[in-house]
């Protein structure tokens, strides 16, 4: 019996239990999850698990905060910026659980985006490893992540949870507030996603090439300006990010830093920006797989910093 107890302790330190599949309901801006009450659960324990204030949870369900819940009672969990992540920004060592939407007939990624707080389509494609806009009726599409705390997710194991070892999606970001350099140490935060064999390193295939290109060079060039995206099939699976930029040789490896969410990636310059009105005022165009990682919406411009060896 002692041996079995020790074995269970060892297993629990090495694996993470898969969570019950969470499905979003409602439309922008009133998104929520339905939770079925289990034995001994209270408004306080549920609010702790779903990272929401007990008073907010009680009010949302039109209940007194001291109401005693009954088994199988349905409690609605509102999703807000406090407990619902819909970007690729770093959020420390907290726990992130995928929240799914079931694709309805004749529903596309655009409509799913609009109905779920206008989450960027490129981010939807990245989270769900989609290489095109094609989705199928009945498919489960990740539209965000429930943001809770390690040790607070105490929902009972009554839903036949099975142990898995979740893969990691890394958001490598500098630990300081200053723009990153090749010597900057960076910490890794992870988001748990369904199993996949795809390499999910987010900063890009060209990291080593960039580091080698700047080795021993103390006079790196740093420029800032507006960035926009261009459509490309590259980067979604192989993480090969590309850029178009003036006054820089083709083949140059660059680091692109987005201060708005403290993320960066590495890319290879393919050539100059085409001479067209749409590019007026732009410093750079980046392949849309890269802008998804950087949290830049395809329809908008964003300020970025570019670092490279001149």
Q: Give the model confidence (pLDDT) of 85-114 as tens digits.
A: 887 655 556 778 889 999 999 899 999 999
CB 224 within 8 A of CB 196: no
Positions of CATH 2.40.40.10 in the chain: 207-308
Q: In whole angstroms, give the CA distance from residue 248 to residue 39.
A: 64
Phi-psi region of 26 (alpha: psi -120 to 50; beta: other; left: phi over 0): left
pTM: 0.50
Longest dimension (CA), the chain: 75
Give the pLDDT confidence of 113-155 residue by residue, as tens digits. Answer: 999 998 888 788 888 888 788 898 888 899 998 888 877 776 6
Return the CATH fold of 207-308: Barwin-like endoglucanases (2.40.40)
Give the pLDDT confidence of 235-290 residue by residue, as tens digits. Answer: 887 888 999 999 888 888 999 988 887 788 899 998 888 888 888 888 999 988 88
Given this model, what pLDDT does residue 231 score?
A: 83
How would you label 140-152 residue by residue, b for 16+ Cβ within 10 Å and e otherwise? Answer: ebbbbbbbbeeee
Report the 10 Å Cβ neighbour count for 248. 19
- 235-to-41, 181, 206, 240, 241 alpha-carbon distances in Å: 44, 22, 11, 4, 5
Give the pLDDT confidence of 197-242 residue by residue, as tens digits. Answer: 333 346 778 888 888 887 766 677 888 889 888 888 788 878 889 9
- 215-to-46, 203, 206, 308 alpha-carbon distances in Å: 52, 19, 14, 11
Give the pLDDT confidence of 155-194 residue by residue, as tens digits. Answer: 644 333 333 223 333 333 333 333 333 333 333 333 333 3
What is the β-pairing status of strands 242-245 and 263-271?
A: parallel
């Amino acid at each position: 019996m002692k041996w079995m107890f020790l074995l269970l302790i060892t297993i629990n330190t090495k694996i993470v239990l898969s969570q019950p599949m969470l499905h979003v309901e409602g439309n922008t801006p009133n998104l929520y999850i339905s939770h079925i009450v289990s034995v001994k659960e209270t408004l306080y324990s549920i609010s702790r698990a779903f990272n929401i204030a007990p008073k907010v949870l009680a009010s949302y369900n039109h209940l007194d905060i001291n109401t005693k819940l009954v088994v199988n009672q349905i409690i609605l969990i509102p999703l807000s910026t406090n407990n619902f992540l819909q970007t690729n920004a770093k959020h420390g060592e907290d726990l992130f659980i995928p929240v799914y939407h079931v694709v309805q007939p004749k529903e596309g990624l655009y409509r799913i985006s609009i109905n779920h707080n206008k989450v960027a389509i490129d981010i939807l494609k990245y989270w769900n490893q989609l290489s095109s806009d094609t989705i199928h009726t009945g498919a489960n599409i990740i539209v965000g992540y429930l943001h809770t705390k390690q040790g607070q997710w105490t929902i009972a194991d009554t839903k036949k949870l099975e142990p898995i070892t979740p893969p990691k999606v890394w958001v490598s970001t500098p630990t300081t507030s200053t723009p990153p350099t090749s010597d900057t140490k960076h910490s890794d935060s992870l988001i748990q996603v369904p199993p996949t064999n795809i390499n999910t390193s987010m900063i890009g295939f060209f990291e080593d090439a960039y580091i080698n290109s700047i080795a021993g060079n103390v006079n790196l060039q740093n420029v800032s300006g507006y960035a926009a995206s261009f459509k490309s099939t590259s980067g979604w699976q192989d993480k090969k990010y590309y850029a178009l930029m003036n006054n820089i040789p083709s083949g140059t490896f660059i680091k692109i830093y987005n201060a708005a969410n403290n993320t960066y990636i590495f890319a290879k310059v393919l050539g100059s920006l085409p001479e067209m009105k749409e590019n007026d005022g732009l410093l750079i165009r980046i392949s849309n797989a890269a802008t998804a990682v950087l949290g830049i919406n395809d329809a908008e411009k964003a300020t970025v910093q570019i670092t490279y060896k001149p």
